[in-house]
Structure 1
Amino acid sequence: MDVHVHGLQQARRFANQAAGLRQLRDWLAPLTLHQVVVEATGGAEQLALDTLHAAGLPMVRVNPRQARDFAKATGQLAKTDRLDARALAHMAAVLPLTRYQPLEDWRRQLRAYQQRRMQVVAVVQQQRQQLSTLTDAWLKQQAQIGVRQLQQQLAQLDACIAQQLAARAELQVLRQVKGVGPVLLASLAAQLPELGRLSGKAIAKLVGVAPLARDSGAMRGVRRIWGGRAGIRQVLYMATLVAVRFNPSLREFYQRLRAKGKAGKVALVAAMRKLLVILNAKMRDQLA
C-alpha cells in the first residue's frame, strides 16, 4: 500500500496486513491530519480503514472513479500506485469529504450474507443457461444436481437474512411501505446505513437517484442521474416497479407524471426517488 502525505511530500509503502498497518499507524500518529483518504478497491481497503479509524484517524473512503476524475482534473494523467497515493493526498487536502463510519457488526454480517446470496444467484443463472445447451444426458443430470444444491444454499441464506432482519426492531417500520420486500430491506440495512440520518436530498444523491443539472449559459440540459450506489439503485428499481402497481401513493404519483408527458423511465426514476425519500423519513422518525 503506497501512502503519501500532502504538503510534507512524504511517501512510503506499507504491507496491507496487520503488521504493516501498525507501522503505518505509528508513522501517521505524530502528524496533524484533517483527512486520510483511501480508495475503494473491492474490499481490500477494509482492514486499513478499520485499523486506522480505530486509532483515531479521520478516515475517508472514495470510489475509484471519483479519485481518477480528481487526478485528471489536476493534470495527473499517468497512473501508478505511487501517483494515485499522491492524488489521494491532494484530494484530502482540498476537498471536504464524508468521513468513514464503520458498520455495526450485524450490518457487516448481513452484508456478507447478502454478497454471498448475490454470488449464488449469479451462478444459478449461469448454470441454467448452460443447461439449455447441454445435449449429453449425464452432463445435464450433473448440472441439474448442481443447480438444486445451489438453490438449497440460497434458501438457507434467505433464512439467515430473514432472521437477522427480524431481530432489528428499527427496520420493521420500513416493512409497512408497500413495495418494500425482503431483498430491498436487506439491501437498505446492509448497504445504506445512512438511511434516516441524512436529508431526503442527500440520501437521494448518495444512492444516485437525484437529477443533476447539466446547464451552460442559456442552455438548459436534460437532468440525469449519475453515480451513487449502484447496488442499492438496482434493487430500488425492481422494488419501484412493484410499488407503482400496488402502492396507491406511488401509483398515483407515477401516473400523474406519465399523464404530463414524462417518459416512462423518467417517471420511474422519480418514483424511485420518492420511495427512497419516504423510507428515509420513516427511518428518521424511528431513530428520533
Structure 2
Amino acid sequence: MNGIGIDVSKRRLDVGTSDGQTLQVSNDPAGFAELDLWLRERPSNQIVLEATGGYEQPVLDFLHKAGHPVVRANALRARKLAQGLGQRAKTDRLDAYALAQMATLVKLPAYQPLEPWQQKLREFVRARRQMIQALAVARQQQEMVGDRELRRLLQANITHLKTLVKRLGNQIAEQLAQQPQLTVLKSMKGVGPVVQAVLASYLPELGHISGKAIASLVGVAPMSHDSGTMRGKRSIHGGRAEIRQVLYMAGMSALQHEPRIRDFYRSLRARGKEAKVAIVAVMRKMLVILNARVRDAQSGPIPA
C-alpha cells in the first residue's frame, strides 16, 4: 500500500506518494476538499505531514475529521530520513516524496487532535511565552541605554510586558481550574501551573500511550549508539522542545521538594552518572509517572 506525504507551506500543499504520484492544492478549505477526494482514491495506512510552525494544523484537523489516517512528523527526523535515502536536494515536491517514504517505512503515533479547551489553552501558553521572550529583549535593550529619559520610556514598556505576563498567567490558571481531570497533575511537587498548562495543551497523548512511547514522543528517551562490541554513549534528540523546557524546570524544582525524585537523582549521581544525564533521567521519570497517573485517573487502557 502506498505511503503518502504532504509538504505544508503557508499557501499550498504539495502531496506525493511513495510510487511517485503528485498533487498540489491550496492550503485552504477549497484545497482541502480537493485533497480529500484525491486521497479517497489512494488508500494509505499513513498520511504524514511535517510540522511547520502551525501552518499544518488546519489540514491536519480537516483530514482527521474526514477519517484519514494522518500523523504529524518531526521536521528534523523527516529531513534525516530523506538524507539517508540519498535525497540531498530540497524542494517542496521532493520533501513530500520523502514524507511518503517515511509513511511507508516508519510507524508513527497517530495524530491526536486537541479539544477546543486545549486549543485555547495552547494559544494562551504560547502568548505568555512570547511575552516573556519580549520582556527579556526589552530588559537587555534598557541595559544598553544611558539616557535617563529613554530609559524611562523603555521602563514603561517593561512594566507593560510584566503586566501582560501576569494577566496571561492568571487566565491560564483559571482555564486549568475549569478542567478537573487535570487535578492529578498537581499530585507531584514541582509541577506548577505553567508545566500543567504545557502538558495539557502540547501533549494530548498524555495518559493514552505507554510510558516508553510518551518518553520517546517528548524526546527524553535515551537513544542507543552501538556497533558490534562497541557500546556508544546514549543521548536524546528530537521530540517536543516546548515540553522538555518545562520538564527541565519542573525537574529542578522536584529535586528540592519531591523526596522520591530527589532520592532517584542522588542514586544516579552516586553511581557515577553526569549531572546532565541524571537530570534528563529525572525528567523522563517524572513524565512516565505523570502519564501513569493521568491514565489511571481516566481509567482508560493504554494501547499496546
With the length of structure 2 as denominator, give the TM-score of the two structures: 0.91
Question: Aligned equivalents of 1:6 and 1:265: distance in 2?
Answer: 41
What do residues 208-251 of structure 1 show as CA deviations (whole Å, max 9, x unaligned)? Answer: 11122111111111111222111111110111111111111111
Deviation at 1:55, TM superposition (A): 1.5
Q: Does 1:182 align with 2:193?
A: yes
Does structure 1 conserve the Cα–Cα contact (< 8 Å) formed by 2:76 and 2:238?
no
Q: Where does residue 233 of structure 2 map in the other structure? A: 222
Q: Where does residue 92 of structure 1 map in the other structure? A: 103
Counterpart of 2:160 in structure 1: which amino acid? Q
Query: Where does structure 1 lack aligned partners over 5 or more consecutive residues?
Result: none
SS in 2 for 1:14: strand
What do residues 235-278 of structure 1 show as CA deviations (whole Å, max 9, x unaligned)? Answer: 10111111111111111111122222222112211111111111
SS in 2 for 1:189: helix
Q: Where does residue 18 of structure 2 map in the other structure? A: 6
Deviation at 1:85, TM superposition (A): 1.2
Q: Where does residue 240 of structure 1 map in the other structure? A: 251
Does structure 1 conserve the Cα–Cα contact (< 8 Å) formed by 2:74 and 2:238?
no
**Higher mean C-alpha displacement, 139-148 vs 30-39:** 30-39
When the two structures are aligned, how many residues end up with a matched partner? Answer: 287
SS in 2 for 1:43: coil
Q: Where does residue 5 of structure 2 map in the other structure? A: none
Which of 289, 294, 302 is the aligned partner of 1:283?
Answer: 294
Q: Where does residue 147 of structure 2 map in the other structure? A: 136
Deviation at 1:90, TM superposition (A): 2.2
Query: Where does structure 2 lack aligned partners over 5 or more consecutive residues?
Result: 1-12, 300-304
Q: Where does residue 133 of structure 2 map in the other structure? A: 122
Deviation at 1:138, TM superposition (A): 2.0
What do residues 5-53 of structure 1 show as CA deviations (whole Å, max 9, x unaligned)? Answer: 332x321211111112212212222222222111111101111111122
Which of 71, 79, 97 is the aligned partner of 2:90?
Answer: 79
Q: Where does residue 203 of structure 2 map in the other structure? A: 192
Question: Aligned equivalents of 2:177 and 2:162: distance in 1?
Answer: 22
Q: Does 1:251 align with 2:262?
A: yes
Question: Aligned equivalents of 1:122 and 1:221: distance in 2?
Answer: 37
Which of 275, 282, 293 is the aligned partner of 1:264?
Answer: 275
Which of 28, 34, 38 is the aligned partner of 1:23?
Answer: 34
Question: Aligned equivalents of 1:217 and 1:13: distance in 2?
Answer: 45
SS in 1 for 2:213: helix
Percentage of pairs with the same residue: 51
Counterpart of 1:3 in structure 2: which amino acid? V
**Higher mean C-alpha displacement, 67-76 vs 86-95:** 86-95
Q: Where does residue 224 of structure 2 map in the other structure? A: 213
Deviation at 1:112, TM superposition (A): 0.6
Show structure 1 runs of 4+ deviating over 3 A.
none
